[in-house]
């Protein structure tokens, strides 16, 4: 259940970062890169928390991928789709 909540939060935050990047001078690509970096760091901290509670690294690594990949993929695909929709869009 905790993994589903974390993945859901990641997806929502990925979409929020795309909207903020699109509406600001930051640009969607840069917003997606920053989101991906910060989300990955947060999920590595989550991995450390799991290891500190007795789970092995081998048990936690697949969970790290499950937590990181969906949100990062949504951010990456969102950059591509926003760039296609707005031909003259600023996407730095």
- Give the number of other CB atoms < 10 A from CB of residue 91: 17
Tens of pLDDT, residues 14-60: 999 999 999 999 899 999 999 999 999 999 999 999 999 999 999 99
Q: Which residue has the higher pLDDT, 83 or 74?
A: 74
From the list 64, 56, 67, 51, the residue with the least C-alpha distance to 8 is 67
77 pLDDT above the threshold of 80: yes
Q: Are 76 and 18 in contact (CB under 8 A)?
A: no
Q: Three-state SS for 70?
A: helix
Q: What is the pTM of this model?
A: 0.87
């Amino acid at each position: 259940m905790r993994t589903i909540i974390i993945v859901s939060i990641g997806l929502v935050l990925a979409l929020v970062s795309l909207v903020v990047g699109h509406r600001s001078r930051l640009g969607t690509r840069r917003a997606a890169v920053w989101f991906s970096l910060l989300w990955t760091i947060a999920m590595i901290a989550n991995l450390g928390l799991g290891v500190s509670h007795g789970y092995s690294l081998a048990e936690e690594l697949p969970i790290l991928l499950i937590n990181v990949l969906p949100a990062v993929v949504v951010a990456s695909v969102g950059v591509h789709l926003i760039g296609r929709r707005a031909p003259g869009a600023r996407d730095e």
